């Protein structure tokens, strides 16, 4: 065997005494004694494995020729230099003077390959000469520059002389140090601190200004907002923010947030759906109780309503952004472009009772009327008409709430949803003695009417009675509609110019409308805005959200002032005089005429509220009775006026002060209108109001599935675990909507158990996150403590009351034929639809010879299944453990034993954590002892998915009940795609409650339905394609506007604002009209898939690593507009990757270099969804090998296209090292 000539270390005793010595290296895969190691014969070889003729085999030692003496000046070879392995024609070693970076000595490369030609080496005894490759593989080894085949050859090491290294070798780069270009990339990489930092205060002030993202407190300059009606709400969320906020929610019992919501939204449930990425399910919950759910999500004063009752107010992190979550979910549903449909349980309109064709009129197309009409249409009424005075619909939501808070398309979307149910709208018709009155309505046969016209007239102070817009005076009723017509696309056909507001503006009032006027004035060009009000800051009626926005936009606040006189000059307002106000100890307010304040102003906007003062409207409402506030008298519970057939709601009633309260007035009125109309036709309604939910075609999707001859209503069921502790719990689960349930595992009475405590704990895989939403649990709970008789009787009861639900009895015995046959027969006799054989409990039961003790041996599993098959006729499934090397062999054994399917998988055996003193948790008794328990939850989902896919690939068509980390419709669909037919749930219920089933069903229906819509093909499930945004709001492409990229902090943020302001003014000068808004209806163009259609869909994408293409590489691409400059991508690439991202020291903008290998670590740690995307590489991928390969590097050049296919190719691959090396690389 060829050895390596190794020189002793210079100066050692051996160097002086013994001269050269021979060391024999065993090739990889061969022991020194000549015995072959276990392992793959295609393991990547090393340099010492080869000769120039083929793979080395053990050969008898031979005498090496002595070294010739080193001539004067000849450099000494590097100590320990072996012979170099070089390809014959690849030129891995450099020419004369090259550095010679290879697997062997640098010295040989330094000599440029000089030296004697390699002598033929004898092969091992009896080894045949290597065969040429088959024709189909011969192209792999053709030389890149001509020639036939390129076989590796061994170049001898340079002779050692004098113990000194060649000069050029000594100058070779140090491989373990970063090169200069990498060092420059690493300039900002974190380093451990070795000393305190020192920098002057003045320098730190400069640093602070450079990196500042919020407004400078010393800055008094107003931001230029002219013609800028972009979203300014703090509550707006993108998908990332919505998911994080929804995960933070506690989903409380008897949630106070719901009690504080005027429309009684099930806030807990819709936030649960958002957390599970079921945005349709969330929108359905919202619109079911609030037909204007999107509008209210945008403008609701949540801090005073639902958020005010949030239990997280009692914690450091504060309450949930409920309004932002509501807006996000409804906006995603809006993007789906799916219509609303009537309650599917109702008969067609033509088959409804006569009462449902009664004529109903509503006045005013604002929130109250839209809500009322929507619920009446959901109840089944088919002749509903809304009369609107204006030529636009939407009421104050359109005309008085600015575009930057409530865009037109949001309101129009909700109106279109109402119209989907057949509601008619007639514009240009008002409630007036000159047009329509209550009397004329009755004459025309209307059975009921709803008044929702709001308060149309401004409440004007007497000092302004003779002033007009020409003087620079506006009321909110004048000013806000003018702004809306100019900024809200679709409100009117023409594009009206913005009101010309310049200089200083005074806004009078302290309500929401006043603050809307103030911020709108800035958008119209005002230089400075003063908000003046009679009372103090603590008495401001506007919600905190509105006040904070005005403050952020640099509006000034002047409290305790009441207007007294307006000064005019040249027919224009120049100033306003005010007197001071004060509240005495009794709470009464006084005005001090001797204390005056004069404010210069160019424009005054009065926002003192609204009233009903038009006599023609009052007369049209006759014979209604009015109260002392000059408003119609209304029963606050039924919304019924003094005329039984007339109802009213919204601002005109005087109780509702917000949009959401007006919506609830309309909702409340709808039920009692329904009750009144039914009574007129001799019909009755239930005593407890029951309004229909919101429905779309998604709710008609069939998610039933058949497996092993059993029909499941839906694929979601309770696993044999804590949610099935008792039969009464299973009953409540069926009532909630679960499709099936397994009993908790029970045994014969001789094997009855008693649990220890504590026994079920939160996992450590979520880090320091406490509360619901845990990614894992660990339990050392045993099987059911209840008897087999209890469970068998319970199964009988459940099947009698829920014949459509599947009940599976979970049973366990030791390895005893008699026991298994006895218990399985008992369970079958109870009426169970199927059995589950628990062969996998990972703790406790194995010590008794049960559970895991039976489930890890294929022979035991096969026999147990045979015994049960002999005993029962109903289907049964073996529950498998993941705590085995090959779960497929266990599944195959179960199938061979007659099982109808398997459950994959049970919990994973583990130890969750130890405390600082070394004691475990859970710790039982005073000795604080524990045992290995079962880990469950989403943390084990990857293990469960692998188990399910492995079984489905190995045993096609074999039924699988999946369990292990299913906590949403999205994760459930993953298991269906993996080959499972039904889904068992446990930890998700532990995190929440049985009502999650509603979310799972709507989520799965939506996922299936969306697959049929061609226009949504770029969506990922229910997640729309991500647009460039920050804080959930679209950001303009600054690089397209000015040709360079800017981050969003410090001086760059100011530059961005200036660029945006200039662009907005240009858009205003262009005075472009708004294109008409057209609502799209996405209709399925492909069949809606069934559960059966999606089972196993992912299996086609799974295979061996050798089947993966190394030709189709990707690289990272960063969206600088979305980047928040955290540098996480940069750090992980530096310390865990390939140093392929540059990080600018001034802008903190990351840039991906051409060194990117597409590993995707950067995307994995990026905190912003889709800020980094992996895109196809446009150049060939050249791996950086560190040192040149000793043979031609064929693997990265696209030469490896397939694994050996024919017998000839396989035989050659096993004998010829050249193919083996290429294949392994």
Q: Tokens 């805005």 correspond to what residue?
A: 529
Give SS3 for 1031: coil
Q: Tokens 């099935």 correspond to what residue?
A: 724
The partner residues of 5 in beta bridges, in order of sequence, read 22
Rounded CA gap, 713 and 715, in Å?
7
Is there a catalytic annotation at residue 813? Answer: no
Q: Enumerate long-range contacts of 758-762, CB under 8 Å, 24 or more apart.
A: 758/921, 758/922, 758/923, 758/924, 759/922, 759/924, 759/933, 760/722, 760/922, 760/990, 761/912, 761/921, 761/922
Residue 445, CA atoms < 13 Å, CB-side half-sphere = 6
CB under 8 Å to 745, separation ≥6 — which residues?
720, 783, 784, 810, 811, 812, 836, 838, 841
**Among 851, 859, 953, 944, CA closest to 903:** 944
Catalytic pick from 257, 841, 854, 1123?
Answer: 841
Question: Using an 8 Å Cβ cutoff, are 446 and 361 in contact?
Answer: yes
- Around Cβ 167, how many Cβ atoms within 10 Å? 9
Largest CA distance in the chain: 128
CB under 8 Å to 25, separation ≥6 — which residues?
3, 4, 48
Backbone φ and ψ for 717, nearest 5 degrees, come out as -145, 165
DSSP string computed for 1141-1160 = EEE-TTT--EEE-TT-----
Helices marked H in 392-472? 396-399, 408-420, 438-443
DSSP string computed for 228-267 = ------TT---HHHHHHHHHH----TT-HHHHT-TT---H
Q: Which two tokens stand for residue 172?
A: 């070779």
Q: Which two tokens stand for residue 744?
A: 């908790």
Rounded CA gap, 165 and 1118, in Å?
47
Rounded CA gap, 106 and 787, in Å?
77
Backbone φ and ψ for 144, nearest 5 degrees, come out as -70, -25
**Among 103, 771, 669, 642, CA closest to 362:** 669
Give SS3 for 333: helix
**Among 241, 232, 299, CA closest to 275:** 241
Give SS3 for 169: helix
Rounded CA gap, 353 and 344, in Å?
16
Helices marked H in 681-787? 727-736
Whether a cis peptide bond, with omega within 30° of 0, leads into 623 is yes
**Among 1156, 1126, 1146, CA closest to 240:** 1126
CB under 8 Å to 959, separation ≥6 — which residues?
707, 708, 877, 900, 901, 902, 981
Backbone φ and ψ for 110, nearest 5 degrees, come out as -65, -25
Rounded CA gap, 702 and 712, in Å?
11
Burial class (CB in 10 A: 0-12, 13-18, 19+), 107: buried
Q: Which two tokens stand for residue 167?
A: 């000069």
Q: Active-site residue numbers?
A: 841
């Amino acid at each position: 065997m060829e050895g390596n000539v190794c020189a002793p270390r210079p100066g050692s005793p051996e160097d002086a005494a013994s001269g050269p010595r021979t060391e024999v290296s065993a090739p990889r895969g061969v022991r020194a004694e000549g015995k072959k190691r276990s392992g793959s014969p295609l393991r990547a070889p090393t340099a010492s494995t080869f000769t120039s003729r083929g793979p080395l085999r053990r050969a008898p030692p031979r005498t090496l020729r002595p070294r010739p003496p080193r001539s004067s000046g000849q450099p000494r070879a590097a100590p320990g230099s072996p012979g170099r392995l070089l390809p014959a024609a690849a030129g891995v070693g450099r020419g004369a003077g090259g550095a010679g970076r290879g697997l062997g000595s640098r010295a040989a490369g330094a000599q440029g390959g000089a030296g004697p030609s390699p002598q033929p080496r004898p092969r091992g005894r009896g080894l045949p000469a290597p065969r040429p490759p088959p024709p189909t593989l011969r192209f792999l080894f053709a030389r890149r520059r001509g020639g036939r085949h390129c076989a590796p050859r061994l170049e001898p090491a340079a002779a050692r002389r004098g113990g000194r290294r060649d000069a050029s070798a000594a100058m070779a780069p140090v491989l373990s140090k970063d090169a200069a270009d990498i060092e420059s990339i690493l300039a900002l990489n974190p380093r451990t601190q070795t000393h305190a930092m020192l920098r002057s205060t003045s320098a730190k002030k400069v640093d602070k200004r450079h990196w500042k993202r919020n407004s400078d407190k010393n800055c008094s300059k107003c931001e230029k907002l002219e013609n800028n009606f972009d979203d300014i709400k703090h509550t707006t969320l993108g998908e990332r923010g919505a998911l994080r906020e929804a995960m933070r929610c506690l989903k409380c019992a008897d949630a106070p947030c719901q009690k504080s919501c005027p429309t009684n939204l099930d806030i807990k449930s819709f936030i649960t759906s958002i957390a599970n990425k079921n945005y349709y399910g969330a929108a359905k919950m919202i619109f079911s109780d609030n037909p204007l759910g999107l509008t209210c999500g945008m403008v609701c004063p949540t801090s005073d309503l639902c958020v005010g009752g949030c239990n997280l107010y009692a914690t450091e992190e504060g309450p949930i952004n409920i309004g932002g979550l509501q807006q996000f979910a409804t906006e995603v549903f809006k993007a789906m472009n799916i219509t609303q449909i009537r309650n599917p349980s109702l008969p067609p309109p033509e088959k409804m009772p006569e009462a449902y064709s009664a004529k109903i009129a509503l006045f005013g197309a604002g929130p109250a009327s839209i809500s009322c009409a929507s619920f009446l249409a959901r109840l089944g009424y088919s002749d509903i008409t809304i009369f609107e005075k204006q030529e636009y619909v939407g009421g104050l939501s359109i005309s008085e709430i600015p575009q930057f808070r409530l865009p037109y398309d949001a309101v129009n979307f909700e109106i279109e949803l109402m119209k989907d149910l057949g509601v008619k709208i007639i514009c240009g018709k008002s409630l007036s003695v000159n047009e329509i009155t209550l009397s004329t309505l009755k004459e025309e046969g209307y059975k009921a009417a709803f008044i929702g016209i709001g308060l149309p007239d401004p409440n004007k102070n007497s000092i302004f009675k003779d002033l007009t817009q020409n003087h620079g005076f506006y009321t909110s009723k004048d000013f806000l509609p003018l702004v809306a017509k100019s900024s809200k696309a679709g409100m009117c056909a023409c594009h009206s110019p913005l009101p010309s507001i310049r200089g200083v503006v005074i806004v009078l009032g302290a309500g929401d409308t006043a603050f809307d006027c103030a911020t709108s004035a800035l958008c119209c060009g005002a230089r400075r805005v003063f908000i003046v009000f009679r009372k103090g800051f603590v008495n401001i009626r506007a919600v905190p959200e509105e006040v904070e926005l005005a403050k952020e936009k640099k509006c000034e606040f002047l409290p305790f002032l009441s207007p007294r006189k307006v000064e005019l000059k040249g027919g224009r307002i120049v100033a306003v005089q005010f007197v001071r106000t004060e509240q005495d100890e009794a709470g009464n307010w006084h005005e001090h005429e001797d204390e005056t304040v004069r404010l210069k102003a160019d424009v005054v906007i009065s926002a003192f509220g609204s009233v009903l003062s038009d006599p023609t409207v009052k007369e049209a409402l006759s014979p209604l009775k009015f109260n002392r506030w000059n408003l119609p008298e209304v029963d606050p519970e039924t919304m019924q006026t003094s005329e039984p057939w007339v109802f009213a709601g919204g601002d005109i009633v005087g109780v509702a002060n917000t949009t959401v309260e007006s919506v609830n007035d309309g909702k409340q009125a709808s039920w009692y209108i329904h009750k009144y109309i039914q009574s007129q036709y001799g019909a009755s309604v239930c005593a407890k109001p029951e309004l229909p939910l919101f429905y779309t075609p998604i709710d008609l999707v069939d998610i039933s599935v058949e497996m092993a001859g059993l029909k499941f209503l839906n694929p979601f069921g309770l696993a044999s675990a804590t949610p099935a502790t008792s039969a009464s719990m299973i009953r409540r689960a069926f009532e909630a909507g679960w499709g099936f349930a397994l009993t908790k595992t029970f045994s014969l009475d001789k094997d009855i158990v008693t649990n220890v405590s504590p026994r079920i704990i939160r996992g450590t895989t979520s880090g320091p996150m406490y509360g619901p939403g845990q990614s894992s649990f660990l339990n050392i709970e045993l099987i059911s403590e209840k008897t087999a008789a209890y469970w068998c009787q319970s199964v009988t009861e459940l099947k009698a009351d829920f014949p459509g639900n599947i009940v599976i009895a979970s049973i366990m015995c030791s390895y005893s034929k008699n026991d298994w046959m006895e218990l399985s027969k008992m369970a079958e006799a109870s009426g169970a639809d199927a059995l589950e054989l628990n062969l996998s409990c990972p703790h406790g039961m194995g010590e008794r010879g049960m559970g895991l003790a039976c489930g890890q041996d294929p022979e035991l599993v096969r026999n147990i299944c045979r015994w049960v098959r002999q005993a029962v006729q109903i289907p049964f499934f073996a529950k498998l453990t993941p705590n085995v090397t090959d779960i497929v062999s266990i599944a195959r054994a179960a199938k061979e034993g007659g099982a109808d399917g398997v459950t994959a998988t049970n919990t994973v055996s583990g130890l969750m954590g130890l405390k600082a003193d070394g004691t475990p948790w859970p710790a039982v008794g005073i000795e604080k002892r524990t045992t290995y328990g079962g880990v469950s939850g989403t943390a084990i989902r990857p293990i469960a998915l692998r188990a399910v896919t492995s079984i489905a690939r190995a045993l096609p068509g074999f039924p699988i009940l999946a369990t292990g980390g299913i906590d949403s419709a999205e994760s459930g669909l993953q298991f269906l795609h993996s080959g499972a037919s039904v889904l068992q749930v446990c930890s998700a219920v532990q995190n929440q409650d049985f009502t999650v089933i509603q979310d799972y069903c709507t989520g799965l229906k939506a996922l299936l339905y969306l697959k049929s819509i061609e226009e949504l093909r770029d969506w990922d499930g229910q997640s729309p394609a991500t647009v460039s945004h920050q804080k959930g709001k679209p950001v303009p492409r600054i690089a397209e506007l000015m040709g360079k990229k800017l981050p969003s902090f410090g001086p760059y943020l100011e530059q961005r604002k200036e660029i945006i302001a200039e662009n907005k003014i240009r858009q205003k000068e262009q005075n472009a009209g708004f294109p008409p808004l057209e609502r799209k209806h996405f209709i399925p163009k492909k069949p809606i898939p069934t559960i059966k259609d999606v089972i196993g869909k992912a299996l086609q994408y799974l295979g061996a690593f050798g089947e993966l293409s190394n030709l189709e590489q990707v690289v990272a691409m960063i969206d600088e507009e979305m980047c928040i400059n955290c540098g996480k991508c940069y750090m992980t690439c530096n310390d865990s990757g390939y140093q392929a991202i540059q990080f600018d020291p001034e802008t903190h903008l990351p840039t991906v270099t051409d060194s990117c290998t597409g590993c995707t670590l950067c995307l994995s740690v990026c905190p912003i969804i889709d800020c980094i995307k992996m895109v196809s590489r446009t150049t060939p991928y050249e791996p950086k090998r560190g040192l040149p390969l000793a043979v031609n590097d064929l693997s990265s050049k696209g030469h490896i296209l397939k694994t050996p296919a024919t017998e000839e190719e396989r035989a050659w691959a096993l004998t010829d090292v050249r193919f083996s090396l290429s294949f392994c690389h």
